[in-house]
A and B are shown apart, each in its own frame.
Chain A
Amino acid sequence: MVDFKNPVQKEQEDAAVIAHNSRIGLSLFAVYTAIYGGFMALSAFWPQLMSEPFLGGVNLAVIYGFVLIATALVVALIYVKLCRKF
């Protein structure tokens, strides 16, 4: 049962673990943001390039979109793997 008069309970986690995980999170975030930024820049400033066939006859816009979706899952899995639990 939760008592509302009590202060919010903190989970016991080591500060070093939190710092380590947060550092990994930020680095992976930077990697993904760079790829997403590249997509935004290409679409906004070189839309012509996006309509060119890129891989197996499919254009860069579609391939880059799929890569962004797949990369999200890949970096998420890397993060879970690298995070320290204790």
Chain B
Amino acid sequence: MIHPTSLTAIIVFLVFAGAVLGISLYLGRRAKSASGYFAAGGNIHWAVNGIAFAGDYLSAASFLGICGMIAFYGYDGFLYSIGYLAGWIVALFIVAEPLKRLGRFTFADALDNKFNSRGIKLSAAISTLVVSCFYLIPQMVGAGALVQPLLGFPHYVGVLVVGAIVTVIVTTAGMVSTTWVQFIKGGILVILCAVITVMILMRGVTTKPTTADGQEVKIPGYGLVAADVTGAPGAVVLPEEGIWRNTPYVRVRNAAGVISVYRKEGDKLSETQTSRVRPDGRRFVNGLPRGKGEGEADLLPVGYASKLPGGVEKTGPLGPFDFLRTMQESEVILWRSDRFTEADGGVTTVYYQKPTAGTDFMAPGSSPTFQKVRSSKFFDKLDFLSLMLALFCGTASLPHILIRYYTVKDQISARKSTVVGIAAIGCFYVLTLFLGLGAMTSGALDVTDSNMAAPLLARSISELLFAVISAVAFTTVLGTVSGLIMAASGAVAHDLMSNVMKIPMDEFRKVAAAKVASLCVGVLAICLGILFSKMNVNFLVGWAFNIAASANLPSLIMLLFWKRTTKQGITSAIIVGMVSSLGWILMSAQAYKDVYGWNPADAIVPFSQPAIVTIPLGFLVLIVVSLMTRRAGTEPAPATAK
């Protein structure tokens, strides 16, 4: 779809970006020491830190990805919400306080607290860098995807703008400005989502959605009598040749010479939308050149209920539970696609209507990602279980979340700020279900891009709301990316340079080194964001969670709860967890399909999400290596958490 550039959106965006930069530069003058730079001097109030947790955690994937997934497939997107939140329980009960007690600036500090081992520092720093980079890619890709329709710039400009702003935030004031940016963004995001949810409930559900300025959304025909379509004056049914052979599609050329594609549903026909990219790059939509002008066409916005309970056309305002029940008892037109590559290299994508009952899309297994839970084979279900396990265990192992525990003054504050974080994040995730379902029936969805569901939902309500939510989504990316770059620069300057390579650095030089590291990571993030621009955002985040959980969680937990853990055990668990999960992902069906463009059926590993195998493997390696090295005469690790 071509999204019109919105002047309001550009102004609101500039105000947001300017405010964020202003705060950073102001606070930057106050953060001179290393402790000030890496951990905001441990002086952040617990309530501010709690909301900053939300700002840090609610990334572009949470906001854009989950809403989009719910809008396109239903309940399955909400599974991510549940998993992402549940992970905080591991963070609060297992990790938060010991980490605060043991560490100073970074995750490696805490792991290495009892051993003073270069092996641990090196492996923990590398795992921090790998996870941060994997998490950075989807954020940068999301930023580019957002800027494209919002400001009318190409994808790479969005990535560059985010990269530049974030690098300024991080290099000026480190953790202080990062925290405040995240606090502001976390607060605004939750409040704004609550406001939109109220508006969705006030609007209710309708079979005839309208745009913000009151125009009725055009609804493509479904279940048309075939003779009416093919027998229209001047209409000619084209023969089934080339890519159209043995497909459920019928091509009809009308009197004006425009070719439309219909999908056969029994003896009825339904309208589809087609998008064709010719080998020379020219794009055609529904048989006409793509564009907004005369003789041109663009994909139609979609998303509406086809049947409501009681056969009504409009429900009127609904309560939260009534809204969910209405969705469950309705039938909604969801859109699916078929992709054909032509002999000359051109690609045609057909988007077709799929009326789906609420009882179907409101239960697990309605999306391609999770559909296998409805299969009867046990192996098929492992993918789902493994992802839910990775989400549960991954949160407490994410480096940018872990470093936030060093910005408060003590364990009590760490505990309280986690509770505030859980409250804010929990509210947000409950709202995602309403936002997603609201977008599903907003009449504003772009069939080609699920990431745009939330901003387009806002546009269906009002242009100003669209502008604000797009700007907030953009600051969402800024907040998370700055947290990640902080974590990565800490790993480079504090762990690698100062502790592993033993480069002697005073406070001033250490902060300078971290700033140079931030700059490098920022540039790397920009490159990766441009390189991976075609990848699915939420999917990449799933990978980051898998790697984080596999590499970091076993050593973190065993260090705290098993007295016989040795430094060799920790080092090898981190390396094995990281390498095995990364390797598994690179050999999975999804990587075959999305990264290499190979046949997913040839994939070596049986399912895509490694956590269910690689987390236990990390524990096993740690235990075996610890027992072996202990017997060899290594001094036992003293008790830590007990």
Contact = CB atoms under 8 A, between A and B. Distances in A.
Interface string A24-44: 011011001100100110011
A47 B373 contact: yes
Contacts of B364: 43, 47, 50, 61
A75 B85 CA distance: 13
A59 B418 contact: no
B411 A59 contact: no
B412 A22 contact: no
Tell me what chain B mostly uses at the interface: helix, strand, loop, or mixed.
helix
Contacts, number: 152
A1 B507 contact: yes
A1 B373 contact: no
Contact of A72 (B321, B385, B410, B426): B426
Nearest to A64: B82
Interface string A55-73: 0111101100110111011
A56 B321 contact: yes
A3 to B, nearest CB: 8
Size category of the binding interface on chain A: 35 or more
A9 B104 CA distance: 8
Contacts of B373: 43-44, 47
Interface string B47-74: 0000000000000000000000000000
Contact of A8 (B104, B329, B419): B104
Nearest to A8: B104
A13 B85 contact: no
B507 A2 contact: yes
B79 to A, nearest CB: 7
Interface in B370-403: 373-374, 381, 384-385, 388-389, 392
B93 A56 contact: no
A2 B94 contact: no
Nearest to A15: B642
A60 B398 CA distance: 31
Contacts of A33: 89
Contacts of A26: 93-94
Interface residues of B, number: 64
B78 interface: yes
B411 A4 contact: no
Contact of A47 (B35, B365, B411, B418): B365
Contact of B97 (A21, A28, A59, A77): A21
Pick from A32, A40, A73 the residue with the most CB of B within 10 Å. A40
Given A1-B507, A76-B418, A62 B384 contact: no
A61 B362 contact: yes
B384 A83 contact: no
A58 to B, nearest CB: 5
Nearest to A61: B363
A40 B370 CA distance: 12
A22 B78 CA distance: 31
Given A19-B642, A51-B359, A66-B430, A11 B411 contact: yes
A62 B358 CA distance: 12
B470 interface: no
B60 to A, nearest CB: 21
Given A1-B33, A80-B419, A53 B328 contact: yes
Contacts of A18: 97, 101, 641-642
Nearest to B329: A57
Contacts of A80: 415-416, 419
B298 interface: no
Contacts of A70: 426
A25 B96 CA distance: 11
A80 B423 CA distance: 13
Contacts of B103: 8
Contacts of A28: 93
Interface string B82-113: 10011011101110011011111000010001
Interface in B310-364: 321, 324-325, 328-329, 359-360, 362-364
10 contacts: A8-B102, A32-B89, A40-B389, A44-B373, A56-B325, A57-B328, A58-B324, A62-B362, A69-B426, A79-B415
Nearest 9 A/B pairs, CB to CB? A51-B363, A25-B93, A29-B93, A57-B325, A2-B35, A43-B364, A44-B381, A76-B419, A69-B426
Interface of A: 1-2, 4, 8-11, 13, 15, 18-19, 21-22, 25-26, 28-29, 32-33, 36, 39-40, 43-45, 47, 50-51, 53, 56-59, 61-62, 65-66, 68-70, 72-73, 75-77, 79-80, 83, 85
Given A1-B35, A59-B328, 13 more contacts: A4-B34, A4-B510, A21-B97, A44-B385, A47-B363, A47-B373, A56-B321, A56-B325, A65-B78, A65-B81, A70-B426, A73-B426, A77-B419
